[in-house]
Amino acid sequence: MMEQIGIIFAFVCNYATGENNNKNSIETNEKIRVFLEIVNENYLTSLFLGQPLNFLTQFFTIEQSLGILCLTTVAATYLIPKIAIKLLTSNLSEAQALVPTIQAAVLDAEAKRPNLYPVNCPVTTKQHKIAIVESYNNVKDTYLVQTNKKQVEIKAQDVVTATVQDLYVYPIKSCEGFRLESSTVLAEGLKCDRQWMIVDAKGTFMSQRKVPKMALIAPIVDVANPTSITLTAPGMPNLVVPVVNKGNELKVRVWKDYIQSVDQGDAAAEWIVKFLATPELRFVKFKDDFCRPCDPKFAPGHSTGFADGFPILIACQASIDEMSAQAKHKVEMDRFRPNIVVKGAPAFADDVWGFFEIGNLRFQNIKPCSRCSMPSVNQQKGEKDDAGAALQEALLASRDGKRLSFLDKRPKDVFFGSNVITTSKTPATISVCKSYTILKNYMNTIAEGLKCDRQWMIVDAKGTFMSQRKVPKMALIAPIVHVANPTALFTIKMGID
């Protein structure tokens, strides 16, 4: 094989250097014949060189044929991968484009079912407290649920309906919010939510993490027609700040995102500097035509305002009640600054909600919300307090990333509430007392598999795992666990009474 390749190489070089220019035609043709015979002796050289040359030499000289073959090979080597990638990418893009359509169709079908809660959804019942839905009987209008003690069938009306308890907007990032009876929900979040912000001399956002006193700045704004915003705070005169949509633009920063904003004037800045006793602060508004995309890893194609990362935060009232019990202090929901507060659902039920509807609006749960030190701040006093410290300890004890298998299981991150987006195409209004319809549960998939899957095991005296191969009766052990908040096994139910 190597000898043949050497002869081919020598032949090509011979013609390339012009040494055959003085040879007569007969000698040249003889060399071509010998060359082609050598090339065709091997299957691979025949396939890629001999056969193409046999064809080309019918129309061109051997030199021209070799040149054409070389150019064709180079072109094919360069173009074929590009064409293949383009075709594959095109097909993949088309397939990806179908995913939202298929998903929407599935959710539309789910929205038409008579029952509010799907299988595996945690619910609150009137008699049995927390339970997990196992099935729904459309004829009898009953749920089969698993409580912490047994499996029971209950009437649908005995399941507490989850409803919107409170709606909040926080016009100025990290300042006081206010409650609404109804709110227009835009793609970027609730209308007027986190549309203004206080920044330092470098354009970096200010927050209660650094200046807890910001909690005492209580803005007043007509959400329906926000032509001005009034700044109020203890010991300060009210200041009406006309909304400036076109003016001095500033590039400001929220975490890693740079955002275009419009400065709202010296009077507002001086008022804020005086109250916070912090120099060189500016008061800015989110630029109307600027788009700040959410993290594409979690919410591709969606955007938000000055919020930390996502447009809407939801939380369950039962969750804050549970944290108050754990902290042994009464803590208020305003420490967590949610937009939507739900009553009637179990504590931390939002951990497993995937898609849900409130009225005509459809929402998607993007990720659990990781919390910083801000919940330590008493929102009425504008300072950290003992209840806040106890709350942080309780969160670390039961809601850390490692325990919940959230976000790479980071043990120092704690979670409360869920970041959500709206998947509805047009703005719509939601109101207090509107009921929730859970369309689909969300199972947290982690690197090791589905959350809570095979996290417990029975072992013998030597520490070796036990299985049904040796003890078939193990099949009758039926554990019950709250997947959303697996702080303990509720019970281990045997296959006997």
- Provide the pLDDT for residue 101: 76
Instruction: Calculate what percentage of the chain has a pLDDT beyond 90.
Output: 55
d(Cα 59, Cα 55) in Å, to the nearest integer?
A: 8
Structure tokens at 35: 């060359």
pLDDT band at 87 (very low <50, low <70, confident <90, very high): low
- Provide the pLDDT for residue 64: 80
Say if residue 10's pLDDT is above 50.
Answer: no
pLDDT band at 393 (very low <50, low <70, confident <90, very high): very high
pLDDT band at 496 (very low <50, low <70, confident <90, very high): very low
- Provide the pLDDT for residue 191: 96
DSSP 407: G
DSSP 48: I
Structure tokens at 321: 């009640």
Q: Pick the closest to residue 238 from 224, 263, 264, 219 (CA basis).
A: 219
- Provide the pLDDT for residue 127: 84
Say if residue 452's pLDDT is above 80.
Answer: no
The lowest-confidence range among 122-131, 191-200, 337-346 is 122-131
Burial of 316 (0-12, 13-18, 19+ CB in 10 A): buried
**Residue 327 and residue 319 in contact, taking contact as beta carbons nearer than 8 Å:** no
Higher model confidence: residue 396 or residue 48?
396
Say if residue 330's pLDDT is above 90.
Answer: yes
- Provide the pLDDT for residue 451: 57
Say if residue 373's pLDDT is above 50.
Answer: yes
Sign of the four-CA dihedral 391, 392, 395, 397: negative
472 to 270, 417, 453, 467, 477: CA distances (angstroms)? 76, 41, 20, 7, 10
- Provide the pLDDT for residue 268: 98
Give the other-Cβ count within 10 Å of 359's Cβ: 16
**Residue 190 and residue 177 in contact, taking contact as beta carbons nearer than 8 Å:** no
Structure tokens at 213: 């006193």
Q: Strand pairing partners for 445?
A: 450
Quickly list DSSP for 410-455: -TT-EEEEEEEEE--SS-EEEETTPBEEEEEE-PPEETTEETTTT-
**What pLDDT, in 10s, does the model give residues 251-286?**
999 999 999 999 999 999 999 999 999 999 999 999
Query: Residue 42 carries which side chain, given as an amino acid letter?
Result: N
Say if residue 14's pLDDT is above 60.
Answer: no
Higher model confidence: residue 147 or residue 27?
147
Higher model confidence: residue 332 or residue 111?
332
